[in-house]
Amino acid sequence: MLQFLADWRDSIPLLNLLKYLTFRTGMATATGFIIAVAMGSRFINWMRAKQGKGQPIRKEGIERHVLEKAGTPTMGGLMILAGAIGGTLLWANLTNVYVWVVLMVTAGYGVLGFMDDYDKVTKQTTAGVSGPVKLVIQFAIAFAAVALLIWFGGKSPDAPELSTSVAFPIFKRLLLDLGWFYLAFGAVVIVGFSNAVNFTDGLDGLAIVPVMIAAAALGLIAYLVGNYVFAEYLQVHFVPGVGELAVICGALIGAGLGFLWYNAPPAKIFMGDTGSLALGGALGVISVAIKHEIVLAIIGGLFVAELLSVIIQVAYFKRTGKRIFLMAPIHHHFEKLGWPESTVVIRFWIVSLMLAFLGLATLKLR
């Protein structure tokens, strides 16, 4: 929003900074952090008063979680959304279609997550909104987002079919044009990653740090892919306009840091589905916009592993009546093995960081 002030840079030279994407990304990060932290204590106290017993904890889960985490308020994702959306609206170029598509998915999934959290808290159940209903809404939003990206997104001058194609890491110019089947592919990426982050959100600080790491990696890729000179040098597909998504990634990082201020063990508030569905959806749609959907599976490999552990556990149990993991998602498996919660969280952070570096390495392995 403030970018329009750049037109006044001839009379106020300092405003010249607003034309630099890196400056606006840094300011979006700071703004997201300030908003989230400023909401902080008052918001948490208000949510605690409103929610009473807080988010219900699965009784079949880790026993100490039932004892230690009971009564902790949820819906902390509202803090993250306020910081991320506020930072974006203030510093991003609001004439950019990619910005609005990502905000649409983030806000839409945030509302869905809020409905789910509200249902859990008011009814004191872990069920929330039914799974099929959530998936229908998620796919509806995702289909709309991918369609908008195809119709209104910037067209690459060196690959007109890029908007409906899947690009592959390592291979320089290899594209698989799916045509309108790309709608389904893109929607699966968005919905799948949204739920993957949701499954990961089970321990204090476990999900938010890998989300910030993934946002940093995707933000860097967006900046490079959206710059013709860098894209040509790295031999990746140039996508006009997606560089602006670096601002959103910066706002997500800042808001995530502000939330972590209160979510660090022992957590004063949980992000809930309000945060996890929105954050996962945001990362998913960003990867679709910058044409790095497969790289997202590398950068967000931790989230993919968490999702797969649930799918494998459920499928194997239905088939054999036995379990592969002691408990799913997989972070609870390691807790069942005797790892302290802090050990699981920090080791998962390390894995997430290494996967992000591996994903970024694919930019040069071509």
Give per-residue pLDDT as tens, 207-220.
999 999 999 999 99
Angle, CA 360 vertex, CA 359 and CA 364 arms, to 5°:
115
Residue 351 burial (10 A CB sphere; 0-12, 13-18, 19+): middle
**Mean pLDDT for the stretch of residues 13-27:** 82
**Per-residue model confidence as pLDDT tens digits over 224-283:** 999 999 999 998 889 999 999 999 999 999 999 999 999 888 889 999 999 999 999 999
Q: How big is the chain by its Cα radius of gyration, in Å?
A: 20
**Residue of 163 and 357 predicted with greater confidence:** 357
Structure tokens at 118: 């509200």
Structure tokens at 219: 């933000």
Q: Does residue 78 register a pLDDT over 90?
A: yes
**Per-residue model confidence as pLDDT tens digits over 314-327:** 999 999 989 999 99
H-type alpha helices, the chain: 21-51, 63-68, 77-91, 97-123, 131-152, 182-200, 208-225, 228-234, 245-263, 272-289, 293-299, 301-320, 330-336, 341-361
Question: Would you list the domain boundaries of the chain?
Answer: 29-361
**Per-residue model confidence as pLDDT tens digits over 39-64:** 988 999 888 887 666 566 655 556 55
Q: Does residue 95 register a pLDDT over 80?
A: yes
Question: DSSP labels for 66-106?
Answer: HHHSTT----THHHHHHHHHHHHHHHS-TT-HHHHHHHHHH
- Give 167's strand partners: 175
**What is the pLDDT at residue 2?**
58
Q: Does residue 172 register a pLDDT over 60?
A: yes
34/84 Cα distance (integer angstroms): 10
- DSSP annotation of 159 reads B
**Per-residue model confidence as pLDDT tens digits over 103-126:** 999 999 999 999 998 888 887 766
Peptide bond into 266 cis (omega under 30): yes
Name the residue type at position 359.
G
**What is the pLDDT at residue 141?**
98
Q: Does residue 339 register a pLDDT over 90?
A: yes
